Each structure stands twice: as C-alpha cells, then as structure tokens.
Amino acid sequence: MYGLPEMQFFMSDTIENFWAACLQASLPIGDGLIRVVAELFFGGQTEETVQQAQGWVRRRFPMTTGRMLEVLAEAVAPRILVEKSPSNAYNRIFLQRIGAMFPDGLFIHLVRHPRGQAESVLRAIEKIRDFGDAPMQWLIDYASYPTIESNQLPDARNRAKVSELDPQRAWYVLNRNIRAFLRSVPPARKLLIRSEDVIANPDKWLREIATWLGIRADAEAIEEMKHPERSPYACLGPKGAMFGNDPFFLRDPAPRPARAMPQSLEGPLGWRTDGSEFMPEVKKLAAEFGYS
C-alpha cells in the first residue's frame, strides 16, 4: 500500500475548483496534494520541488479529482493508494462523489469512541492556545457544531454561534454521513474498524485488515505497518507545503497507546459545565459500533 497524506480534494469535482477552494480556505488544505506531487514526480520535497509541483497541478486544472487519484495510483503501482482525508465525511455529496468515481473501491470506516474523540479535539484546541496561537477555525467549528440535524459541518458562511464547545455533535454528524453512504456499498467492500482495537492489539487487527484487502499479512509486513514515522509525509514539509496532516502528528509521528484506554458512554461529560451526558442519538450510534 501507499499511504497518502490528507488530500482533501474530493470536496470538489475538478482540480481547478479544488484549487479555488484552497485559496479561500483558512487552513492549508492543498499541502497534501502538493507534497505528493513533489515526492512522486520531482524527486522529493524541497522548496524548489514544491514550486514545481504547484505548476504541475495548475496545468491539470481541467482534470477531475478522480482522474488525479488515478494518476497518482499509476505512479505508485502496483501498490494500492490509501486515501484518508477527514473532509470526505463532511458532506454526503463528497462521499457520493467518491463512490461514483470509484465504484469498485474498498472502504474502511475507522471509528473512535465519542468521548475519546471529543477530548482529543478539545486538547488540541488547548495546545494551540498554549502556544499563543488562535485555534484553527475548523477546530472551533467542529467543537461548537450546534445541531445534529444537518448533513455537513459549518463553513465560513455558516459558523456556529454558541459559547460552549461540545464535539459530540460533529462526531455524530460525520459518522452518520459515513453510515448513510456505506448502505449503498456491498458488504464485501466495506469494513468497520475501531481505532482503539488497532492501537491495543496492532498485530491482530492489522493482520485482519491486510487479509481483508488481499495483501501481505506476514510478520514482516505487519511490523512495517507499525512504523508510520517512516513515511515521507510523516514530518513537516518544506515552505509552501508544510502540512497535509494533523500538525501534532507531524511533529511526533508515533502511535499513542493511551488512546486505547477504555471509555464509557455513561456519565457526565468533562467538557460540559451543566453535567450533561451524551445525547441519546450519540449513544445509540456508538453502541452500534460496539462501544458501551
């Protein structure tokens, strides 16, 4: 397999529209694509190859985002591309676009306990504040999402107007979007995996995933999968394309065993001041994933 950074481009139908969205975004959503192009077509990631990659992408503005993924797949063949952008789940239209462009694709629904997910988002906001920076707006949007009625997270034109952060709502919306999309995918082409299980017992679960994908599942292959730091994208990139992944991961690209600690769906939420527990909808969906 070939693990890509976060590409984020399935929010658009063409590369030109994706690039226009990059220019308007409050965070560098185009860095993943630029880093991959620099690495695969220009021999590595430097300030010079980043500029070359940007020109390469501009010359392919008419290309669909699906065709762009095919071009990258051809460059790394026979390895299988792994595309994992969080923005894929922000709107059901994005997921439908992927399904239409890749009707034979394999889909892994990677889930996390809503308590652990929410606490992780709030810790990230606090860390950024500790560094003296304002949290990235998308984190605030995620953590303050006001309802569970929409099928998408708010954007710059529709930001939440609430004072109390509560990431459980976004957890619900994103996972509900994925579940709705996967109903149209045949059982043989989809797999539900709990991230806590993989972290707690990587040998077992990485072997399960590899076997399902039909690729090597021997001890040597599994050991390689346990070292994300070996990826050329598991670090901060050069000027002009520094990111393409969670900044905290890029600064310390190592598995975090503490994330496998058991969590409960019952009891008050530590980030709420009113003693509230998880909403019934969140509990129900989490229980369907095997959480308790």
Highest mean pLDDT among 106-120, 158-172, 241-255: 106-120
Local confidence band at 288 (pLDDT 50, 70, 90 cut-offs): very high
Report the pLDDT value the prediction gives residue 131, as an integer from 0 to 100.
63
The pLDDT mean for the chain works out to 90
Q: Check residue 157 and give its pLDDT.
A: 44
Give the pLDDT of residue 62. Answer: 97
pLDDT tens profile 48-106: 999 999 999 999 999 999 999 999 999 999 999 999 999 999 889 999 999 999 999 99
Strand spans (E) along 137-194: 190-194
- Which residues, listed in sequence order, are joined to residue 81 by a DSSP beta bridge? 2
Which tokens is 289 given? Answer: 């994933």
Whether the predicted pLDDT of 220 surpasses 60 = yes
Is the dihedral angle over the CA atoms 281, 272, 262, 230 positive or is it negative? positive
Output the pLDDT for position 84: 94
Q: How far apart are CA 287 and CA 278, in angstroms?
A: 12
Quote the pLDDT of residue 152.
62
**pLDDT at position 26:** 77
DSSP notation for 105-121: --EEEEE--HHHHHHHH
Measure the CA–CA gap between 292 and 283, rounded to whole angstroms: 8
Structure confidence at residue 161 (pLDDT):
44
Q: What is the mean pLDDT of residues 134-146?
A: 68
| pLDDT grade for 147, boundaries at 50, 70 and 90 | low
pLDDT at 145 over 70: no
DSSP 72-97: HHHHHTTSPEE---GGGGS-HHHHHH
Q: What are phi and psi of 190, to 5 degrees?
A: -140, 150
The Cα 41–Cα 39 span in angstroms is 6
DSSP 247: H
d(CA 174, CA 171) in angstroms, rounded, equals: 6
Give the best-scoring range by mean pLDDT among 23-32, 38-47, 133-142, 258-267. 38-47
Q: Which residue has the tokens 């070939």?
A: 2
pTM for this predicted structure: 0.90
CA-CA-CA-CA torsion sign (88, 78, 199, 193): positive
